[in-house]
């Protein structure tokens, strides 16, 4: 079962920085993400979702390819590609993968203008290593599906200060 985590950051840039770090951790096999979306509240009050995967565009590309193939069979590749792209885009727009867009926009509407919320759907993770890496990254937990103990550990890690390297004591003067 996946866990949902939503963390509020003061800027979109900070939320993007943390999202990039999570992708680096995923490349190190410490976390497995299903989805990672940034919701930004605009000055106008609208909520913009910054998603990595655009199902409408993916559907259009896939539909174009298959439409072109079918169109070649009937000697009308251009018509086939156009019909395939239109139907693929429609199918992509109607499908929703990962975190529900309406849910993110509803929670995003509670943000202050200019703030950003990072929504992450986590399939599995090595919690102690991920939390250690995220220590001191800031942010405020908005909502999670974690149990109380894990949620508190996340809050503590975000609020903690980044550990500084220990320097050797100064040598005594001669």
**Each residue of 27-76: pLDDT tens digit?**
999 999 888 999 999 888 888 888 775 555 555 556 566 666 566 666 66
Are 47 and 114 in a shared domain? yes
Are 46 and 24 in a shared domain? yes
Band of pLDDT at residue 166, cut at 50, 70 and 90: very low
Are 16 and 37 in a shared domain? yes
Whether residue 165 is contained in a domain is answered as: no
Q: Which of 94, 122, 149 represents a domain boundary (last residue)?
A: 94
What span, in angstroms and rounded, lies between the C-alpha atoms of 129 and 139? 18
Whether residue 127 is contained in a domain is answered as: yes
How confident is the prediction for the chain on average, in pLDDT? 78
Are 151 and 67 in a shared domain? no
Whether residue 13 is contained in a domain is answered as: yes
Which of residues 158 and 77 earns the better pLDDT score?
158
- In degrees rounded to 5, what are phi and psi of residue 155? -60, -45
CATH assignment of the domain containing 9: 3.30.70
Q: Name the residue range of residue 74's domain.
A: 55-94
Whether residue 99 is contained in a domain is answered as: no
Whether residue 137 is contained in a domain is answered as: yes
Strand order in 47-50's β-sheet? 47-50, 31-41, 116-125, 3-9, 140-144
Does the structure show a pLDDT above 70 at 93?
no
Are 31 and 66 in a shared domain? no
What is the percent of the chain with per-residue pLDDT over 70, rounded to a whole number? 65
Does the structure show a pLDDT above 80 at 78?
no
Whether residue 101 is contained in a domain is answered as: no
pLDDT of residue 167: 43
Are 136 and 113 in a shared domain? yes
What span, in angstroms and rounded, lies between the C-alpha atoms of 121 and 38? 12
Q: Note whether 4 and 121 are within 8 A (CB).
A: yes
Whether residue 170 is contained in a domain is answered as: no
């Amino acid at each position: 079962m996946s866990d949902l985590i939503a963390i509020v950051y003061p800027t979109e840039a900070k939320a993007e920085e943390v999202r990039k770090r999570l992708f680096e951790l995923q490349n190190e096999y410490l976390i497995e993400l299903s989805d990672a979306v940034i919701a930004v509240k605009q000055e106008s009050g609208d909520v913009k979702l910054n998603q990595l995967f655009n199902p409408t565009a993916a559907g259009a590309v896939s539909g174009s390819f298959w439409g072109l193939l079918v169109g070649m069979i009937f000697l009308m590749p251009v018509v086939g590609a156009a019909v395939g792209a239109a139907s693929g885009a429609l199918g992509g727009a109607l499908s929703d993968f990962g975190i529900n867009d309406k849910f993110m926009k509803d929670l995003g509407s509670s943000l202050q203008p200019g703030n950003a919320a990072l929504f992450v759907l986590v399939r599995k993770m090595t919690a102690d290593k991920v939390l250690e890496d995220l220590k001191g990254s800031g942010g405020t937990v908005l909502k999670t599906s974690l149990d109380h103990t894990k949620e508190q550990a996340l809050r503590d890690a975000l609020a903690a200060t980044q550990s500084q390297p220990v320097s050797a004591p100064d040598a005594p003067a001669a």
